[in-house]
Amino acid sequence: MSPVSAIFSVKVVFLLTAFLFTTSMQSFGQGHCLRGMVCDGQTGVGLDNVYVLITGWETGVLTDSAGYFELCGLQYGDIIEFSHLAYYNRSLIFSIELPDDLVVRLLPSSMTVEEVVITGNAGQSKSVMPGKITIDAEDVVRLPSFMGESDVVRSLQVQAGVQSTGEGISDVFVRGGAPGQNMIVLDGMELMNPLHMMGLYSVFNPNTLAGVDLYKGHTPITYSERLSSLILVSSADPLRSHAGTNLSLGTFSSGLGHISRTEDRKLGITLGVRRSFVELYRGLSKLIIPDEDNYFGSTFSTFYDLNGLLVYSPIENARLSAGWFLSGDHFAIDEDNKDTDMGSDFGNRAALLAWEHKPMLWLDYKLGLSYTGSYSEFDGYFGEGYINLRNHFDRYSAFAEMEIKGQISSLMLGMRHSEYQTLPQDMDLLVSGERASFYHTYNSRQTDYYLEGGISIRPRLDLSGGVRLHNYNTLGWSDSFNDEGPFDINTWKKNRRRLLLSVSAALRWKTGINSHFKAAFSRQAQTIHLASIASLPLPNDIWLMSSPFLKPQIGHQVSGAYFAKRGAYELSIEVFARDMENQVLYTMGDIEDDREIFEERFIVGRGRVAGAEFMARKTIGRFTWDLAYTLLRSERQYDEINNGHWFSDKFDRRHNLALVGEYKINDRWSTSASFIYATGNCLNLPAGRMWVMGTIMNDYDGYNSFRMPPYHRLDISATYRLQTKVFKASELDFSVINVYDRANPYFLFYKVTQGRDAYDVKISAQQVSLFPLLPSIGWRVKF
């Protein structure tokens, strides 16, 4: 950043802070805030999507998944309206006598129940930022399950702007970005590798899930650490959600979720556990399947995850939260006939301790400590060769935030300090009798200061903006080189500390109660890289922090959106464009590579993405549906590749279509189906071959110039609700994945077979597919 740009940015930050702070202070005497819960008057169950509105205003707020709301800008005597399609409206007068823990009970309306069936809540939120989608737990469950298991990531992959990359990949690719450009957070804890079984499942337990917020490109400045997206996964709040136990039994795994609290609602806990039992198939398969045809006999796979949230509220409007997450996977292949033995272990670790307090209606603050870690190890024996690859990532953080809320404006200030310890590569190789070892460790530190504010210019215009200063510092000498290395020590000293700036600005213009335009610009800095060691995302991919020789990623994005709702139907259209700097590719090199520093194994270039998203849905009635379509172009440019020309990124998918439908037959039966179509991924395959000195040489025409066949799949499911006096609820889920048995490509390769003559060679393309038609059954129960 140039001195002129830095001075300009500081001035902008100062003016924005002064304006928002002054506006907030002025607004404190102009209005009050009301917080409470809206519930069903007969059952006491919290109601989501209840519209809370001040009479005479054209805007309001919606209750969250547990029925809670917060409405600011009130004056004594204002009339507050509560409305929901399936309930009678209710109104009350705002006065000083209203309790701080207000509970509003709505009675079901006299409308015919069969005609008013409200289902999923996935859709546009009340956020000023465009590109935000909110998904609740019911939206996750209603999709056809995979092997009897509902999956959070699969519910994300049917949203506009999120690409369905193929079989066995639970990573998320948002608007042409890579998996390492997503920040994934569970209950305030960042998770680095959210995968199970090499990508078949995600790590999120649906039995404890409350909801998911997806931010595409533009993110709140509090979490502005990635270029592509922010995924906030929330577990059920033990002090607000219904107490009880959820159990799910699937074909390959089972999960349990439990919520309990004390009678005074001061202490509560949410616990979740999942465990696979694929290893049981190993023993059973040996009894009925010959060894040469027995996949389970030569492979072993298992996983587990544990998550929890403990909340203690010693005084009103204050709470102490402790969260934790632990997961582990083990995968192994042992094929004696192929002289192959390999295995992989990987997992996540995370913890959080936070104190939140609202001492006054207009003031909130939060203090906390967090830890995030991930690890992976791969061992492989291939004939006389051997490879052992290990890496780990650890982040220790402390943070403090304060939010000031007024009648028409709000201001949030915060600070986060993080210490990083990373081991991107600890590798031992044995190839052709030659052994080599590589070991690289890095320590770094980052302190971020940020502020974000918003103002509502009634009745139609909302503005928000934020700025975040990243002070990043590489600590000490890297273990990957010594004082006699060929690197430039002056460059290292000059670039060991970097000051980076992230900025966001957005507006929303309301054309009516149920329609609006949005526009936003953001500049984001990312100090971490994810280096892929294969053409497909794997949990063994390498997390690496920026260093004096590897610059942080920088991204700029602009977008515009329109949203409208008419009765049971919603429509949204959004266009976006983004450019990215310092995009990296990892090159393994050869065993005799004499490079002295690890960063020299990376090729650095640029990226650009442009696209449009279209989403339509029907949200009310027996038959509901969601249609999402994305038109996208994602390209990369590296000086060392393709003569420096731009080429399609490997996950560039021009067309991506997802259609999800659900039909409620009666109180016992409901059905759902999902159809996905996507343009094939790009590959770098030879366009031709030639003989040179008795050796076959490949001839390439460009880079990533070959596309795999299109990907498409239809999944269906049926849910039967059992009548039971033992449990609160009991459901059987019957699902079929890939109904018409499409052989979708997982990856392609060329097979070379040689005849008797040296030049008698036959080359054929081979396709590997994972999933044929897969029926499954699952059982979900609440007690």
Residue 156 near residue 164 (C-beta atoms within 8 A)? no
Euclidean distance between CA atoms 89 and 51, whole angstroms: 10
Euclidean distance between CA atoms 506 and 653, whole angstroms: 28
**Average pLDDT value over all residues in the chain:** 81
| Dihedral (Cα; 500, 452, 314, 71), 10-degree rounding | -160
> Is 114 or 703 the better-scoring residue by pLDDT?
703
Of 281, 278, 280, the closest CA to residue 253 belongs to 278
- What is the pLDDT, as a whole number, of residue 526? 96
**Mean pLDDT in residue range 240-258:** 88
- What is the pLDDT, as a whole number, of residue 126? 61
**Mean pLDDT in residue range 158-169:** 73
Euclidean distance between CA atoms 744 and 312, whole angstroms: 49
DSSP 289: S
Euclidean distance between CA atoms 11 and 17, whole angstroms: 10
- What is the pLDDT, as a whole number, of residue 282? 64
Euclidean distance between CA atoms 695 and 316, whole angstroms: 78
Q: Report the 3 state secondary structure along 324-370.
A: EEEEEEEEEEEEHHHCEEEEEEEEEEEEEEEEEEEEECCEEEEEEEE
Q: Give 119's pLDDT tier (boundaries 50, 70, 90).
A: very low
**Angle of CA points 777, 782, 783, to nearest 5°:** 135
3-class secondary-structure state, position 9: helix
**Mean pLDDT in residue range 108-125:** 48
Cα separations (Å) of 310 from 260, 400, 424?
10, 20, 33
Q: Which residues in 361-490 belong to E strands, given as ranges?
A: 363-382, 385-405, 409-431, 434-457, 461-475
- What is the pLDDT, as a whole number, of residue 629? 95
**Is 70 exceeded by the pLDDT of residue 579?**
yes
Q: Give 37's pLDDT tier (boundaries 50, 70, 90).
A: confident
> Is 595 or 427 the better-scoring residue by pLDDT?
427
Cα separations (Å) of 381 from 332, 366, 378, 431, 435?
11, 50, 10, 10, 14
- What is the pLDDT, as a whole number, of residue 123? 47
411-425 confidence digits (pLDDT tens): 999 999 999 999 888
**Is 50 exceeded by the pLDDT of residue 26?**
no
3-class secondary-structure state, position 773: coil
**Is 60 exceeded by the pLDDT of residue 69?**
yes
Exposure of 476 in the CB half-sphere (CA atoms within 13 A):
11
Place of tokens 């110039």: 705
Q: Which range scores top for mean pLDDT: 108-117, 569-578, 749-758?
A: 569-578
Place of tokens 């999902």: 674
Q: Report the 3 state secondary structure along 48-104.
A: CCCEEEECCCCCEEECCCCCEEEEEEECCCCEEEEEECCEEEEEEECCCCCCCCEEE
Q: Which spans in 436-525 are helix H?
A: 489-495
502-524 confidence digits (pLDDT tens): 999 999 998 887 889 999 999 99
- In the chain, the amino acid numbered 149 is E
Euclidean distance between CA atoms 254 and 687, whole angstroms: 46
3-class secondary-structure state, position 598: helix
Q: Give 335's pLDDT tier (boundaries 50, 70, 90).
A: low
483-505 confidence digits (pLDDT tens): 445 566 777 778 889 999 999 99
**Is 60 exceeded by the pLDDT of residue 117?**
no
Of 3, 16, 11, 90, the closest CA to residue 464 belongs to 16
**Mean pLDDT in residue range 340-360:** 88
Q: Give 240's pLDDT tier (boundaries 50, 70, 90).
A: confident
> Is 632 or 756 the better-scoring residue by pLDDT?
632
- What is the pLDDT, as a whole number, of residue 480? 46
DSSP 609: E
- What is the pLDDT, as a whole number, of residue 744? 82
Q: Token pair of 515, please?
A: 């329609």
Per the rule left: phi > 0, alpha: psi between -120 and 50, beta: everything else, 589 is: left
3-class secondary-structure state, position 695: strand
Residue 267 near residue 241 (C-beta atoms within 8 A)? no
Q: Give 7's pLDDT tier (boundaries 50, 70, 90).
A: very low
3-class secondary-structure state, position 243: coil
- What is the pLDDT, as a whole number, of residue 661? 92
- Lowest-confidence region among 81-85, 484-488, 537-541: 484-488
Euclidean distance between CA atoms 170 and 327, whole angstroms: 15
- What is the pLDDT, as a whole number, of residue 631? 95
CB neighbour list of residue 621: distance below 8 Å, 6 or more residues apart: 115, 116, 117, 568
- What is the pLDDT, as a whole number, of residue 28? 42
- What is the pLDDT, as a whole number, of residue 288? 63
CATH superfamily of 123-406+436-782: TonB-dependent receptor, beta-barrel domain (2.40.170.20)
- Lowest-confidence region among 5-19, 433-447, 509-523, 585-599: 5-19
- Give me the residue spans of the domains in the chain: 31-115, 123-406+436-782
- What is the pLDDT, as a whole number, of residue 522? 95
Euclidean distance between CA atoms 512 and 90, whole angstroms: 22
368-421 confidence digits (pLDDT tens): 999 999 998 888 776 677 888 888 999 999 999 999 987 788 899 999 999 999
3-class secondary-structure state, position 309: strand
- Lowest-confidence region among 5-9, 90-94, 450-454, 543-547: 5-9
Strand bridging mode 102-106 / 32-40? parallel
Q: Give 273's pLDDT tier (boundaries 50, 70, 90).
A: very high
Residue 48 near residue 118 (C-beta atoms within 8 A)? no
- In the chain, the amino acid numbered 260 is S
Q: Give 84's pLDDT tier (boundaries 50, 70, 90).
A: confident
* Total length of the chain: 783
Q: Token pair of 474, please?
A: 């590489």
CATH superfamily of 31-115: Carboxypeptidase-like, regulatory domain (2.60.40.1120)
Cα separations (Å) of 635 from 569, 610, 632, 648?
35, 9, 10, 4
Side-by-side strand order, sheet with 87-93: 60-62, 51-54, 79-84, 87-93
Q: Give the predicted TM-score (pTM) of the model.
A: 0.83
> Is 783 or 23 the better-scoring residue by pLDDT?
783
- What is the pLDDT, as a whole number, of residue 116? 40
Residue 45 near residue 19 (C-beta atoms within 8 A)? no
**Is 50 exceeded by the pLDDT of residue 41?**
yes
**Cα-flanking dihedrals φ and ψ of residue 419, to 5°?**
-115, 130
428-474 confidence digits (pLDDT tens): 887 777 787 778 888 999 999 999 999 988 778 989 999 999 999 99
319-331 confidence digits (pLDDT tens): 999 999 999 988 8
**Mean pLDDT in residue range 62-76:** 77
Say how many C-beta atoms besides its own lie within 10 A of residue 333's C-beta: 16
- What is the pLDDT, as a whole number, of residue 324? 97
**Mean pLDDT in residue range 45-57:** 79
- Percentage of residues of the chain with pLDDT beyond 70: 79
- What is the pLDDT, as a whole number, of residue 19? 47
Q: Report the 3 state secondary structure along 545-585.
A: ECECCECCEEEEEEEEEEEEEECCEEEEEEEEEEEEEEEEE
- Lowest-confidence region among 77-81, 150-154, 491-495: 491-495
Q: Give 10's pLDDT tier (boundaries 50, 70, 90).
A: very low
178-201 confidence digits (pLDDT tens): 888 999 999 999 999 888 876 677
CB neighbour list of residue 4: distance below 8 Å, 6 or more residues apart: none
Euclidean distance between CA atoms 323 and 240, whole angstroms: 16
- In the chain, the amino acid numbered 716 is I
Euclidean distance between CA atoms 419 and 369, whole angstroms: 12
